[in-house]
A and B are shown apart, each in its own frame.
Chain A
């Protein structure tokens, strides 16, 4: 055995340790947050920088994703309880939410429909096959709902989950800037837009913009998921034909 394969065997073994994925993710995320605080800009979004850092680290060390994800799963497992936790800010605003029922339902319905149709139409026009179009349709909503829908309409669930996180990342990086540049400044409108178009990752950014923005974003994320679950199968029938 050469020295090289010895080292890579050891690296693979370390990479498969659950603690490795946890420590690498937490460490790089912490550093990325510090960088973002020092140089606040959409392109220094902690999720983007930490993910790129981890990808580069794994590449250099020759550790594959499946090994890293032993520990990664421990981190992403907390998406479940974090989703449940959104019930608390929503409860705090229950009264205000019921006063804005029409605005909430109409804006989320319009936005979720528009995002879905634009995604599928653009991919279709640029020559994407039905497989790609159907995997793209439900990508604006939170991962567990999107994956569920993708399976139902005949897309590929894992591909959909990649589109979901990339969508969320884009929305979280540029969403509030784009909205404010286009004259959308109301807290409720910002939150509803981020949650509808960029689900949980957008909600993460919305919570940084303010607790009120975050609560509306959380609400929008859930409702947009419901809307899309109902509309996507109908849209899928249409896109399979045309």
Chain B
């Protein structure tokens, strides 16, 4: 319970900061950075959030399910533009994966030489 409370407090802190400053940035990502900072500074012990964080991350994929189901609302638009959207999604995802992966692996090899 302590872990869940800590995580929600940090999410809230992130969301409150975004609301107050008006910066166009997602609150939970700011919450992530704040939690990282708090752990690094020793304000929060890793043990206190570890099991809750593990549970949430193990089930990360589940939390996306209702959003994927939401694509059904756009079925007509998607059907009308299926080729452009389909190829755009497939090619950009493949290129994004391969560019990131190859650059990272190449730099890793250069460094360890």
Q: Which residues of A are in contact with B by a Cβ distance under 8 Å?
A: 21, 25-26, 28-29, 46-48, 50-51, 54-55, 58, 65, 68-69, 72-73, 75-92, 94, 100, 102-104, 106-108, 110-112, 114-116, 118-120, 122-123, 126-128, 132, 136, 139-140, 142-145, 148-149, 151-152, 158-159, 161-163, 165-172, 175, 178-179, 182-186, 188-190, 192-194, 196-198, 200-201, 203-205, 207, 214, 220, 222, 225, 229
B17 at the A interface (CB under 8 A): no
B104 at the A interface (CB under 8 A): yes
Contacting pair B74 A114 (CB below 8 A): no
Contacting pair B65 A25 (CB below 8 A): yes
B89 at the A interface (CB under 8 A): yes
How many A-B residue pairs have C-beta atoms within 8 angstroms? Tell me.
323
Q: Which residues of B are in contact with A by a Cβ distance under 8 Å?
A: 4, 7-8, 10-11, 14, 24-29, 31-36, 39-40, 46, 49-50, 52-54, 56-74, 77-78, 81, 83-85, 87-105, 107-108, 111
Q: Is the interface of A mostly helix, strand, loop or mixed?
A: helix
> 19 A-B pairs, CB-CB below 8 angstroms?
A65-B69, A79-B64, A85-B57, A86-B57, A91-B40, A102-B111, A106-B103, A115-B96, A118-B91, A122-B88, A126-B84, A151-B24, A161-B67, A165-B70, A165-B71, A193-B96, A193-B97, A197-B97, A207-B57
Contacting pair A193 B101 (CB below 8 A): yes
Contacting pair A186 B96 (CB below 8 A): no
Task: Give the distance in Å from the alpha carbon of A149 to the alpha carbon of B8 in the complex.
Answer: 25
